A and B are shown apart, each in its own frame.
Chain A
Amino acid sequence: MNALSIKATDDTPSINFDPATGMLEISGRSLPEDAAGFYKPVLDWLKQYGASAKTASSLAMKLEYFNTASSKIILDIFNVVEKFSSDKKVIWYFDKDDEDMQEAGEEFSEIVNIPFEYKTY
């Protein structure tokens, strides 16, 4: 399985998924108009990876902003990660002054059955 690497743009985050280490990172801003289109290859990769994942996976969410269309897709991503065949966790990063982002992470963690860790930057 190949790594997935997508560079950030003004309205989409960078994606760095390394199947060898299980380190999966989504970082930046997510405000695309067509969130489904942008995240389709991301979801496809995760589904394929998760079906036979052997190493423990850690999904680092380092989002500065995301729009409501992205929040729906982020939930889809967590629903895929939830079904991974090996151990998994989400590390939710937020700016220490950004209560909204902290709360968003807590809400996702209440909906899906994956351990969440929180880190400030």
Chain B
Amino acid sequence: MKYVHQLHKTMVDNSLILVYEGEFTQEITKSVLSMAERNLDYMEEESSTKKKVFNVMVECLQNICKHTDKVADDKLWNSAIFMIAKDSEYYSIVSGNAIENTAISFLEEKLEQINSLDREGLKHLYKDMLVKAQLSEKGGAGLGFVDIARKSGQKLEYYFDPINDQSSFFCFKTKIARVNE
């Protein structure tokens, strides 16, 4: 039972206000969103900050729903994790999900391109991609990361942690500055 206390301590030490681990579906996305929304309302967060956090959450959660790859025969990695942390300056929206190693270079290129752009550059990229966008079979427009970067205004943080020869755990963090009152 010691892990309960440890987990609680980890959450407090990392200023985590919400952690969800398990299967991700649209129904669960809606539940997590409504829980976070109530939390933000309760803390009387500024409405512009609240909307940015909500928007980034939606894109992150729907990314996980669409792109979590099953790692063969390993139950541990059939799921993903989603967290929100809050300190005096930032909200951090953090997610982790298993992906196939073959997807890494594509993701890395995309995220590096996004991180190399400033506000205006991101706006142009977004508009350009929006005009050309086709919805994928999974229903995505391919605009999620660019939109997240624009809403955040900060560089995106990411890390690929190897699981085995086929798969890695993709860790992704977005920061949203809290409005200084």
A interface vs B, CB < 8 Å? 10-11, 31-36, 65, 67-69, 71-73, 75, 95, 97-101, 103, 107, 110-111
Contacts and interface: CB of A to CB of B under 8 A. Distances in A.
Q: Is the interface of B mostly helix, strand, loop or mixed?
A: helix
B135 A36 contact: yes
B130 A34 contact: no
B48 A33 contact: no
Given A71-B141, A100-B52, A111 B127 contact: yes
B123 interface: yes
B171 interface: no
A97 B131 CA distance: 27
B103 interface: no
A100 B59 CA distance: 15
A73 B135 CA distance: 9
Interface stretch (B11-19, B92-100, B143-151): B143-151
A111 B131 contact: yes
Contact of A75 (B55, B123, B131): B131
Contact of A107 (B47, B51, B123): B123
Given A11-B30, A34-B139, A98-B51, A110 B151 contact: no
A95 B47 contact: yes
Contacts of A73: 135
Nearest to B133: A72
Interface in B11-42: 26, 29-30, 33-34
Contacts of B55: 65, 100
Contacts of B33: 31
B139 A97 contact: no
B58 A65 contact: yes
A72 B135 contact: yes
A98 B135 contact: no
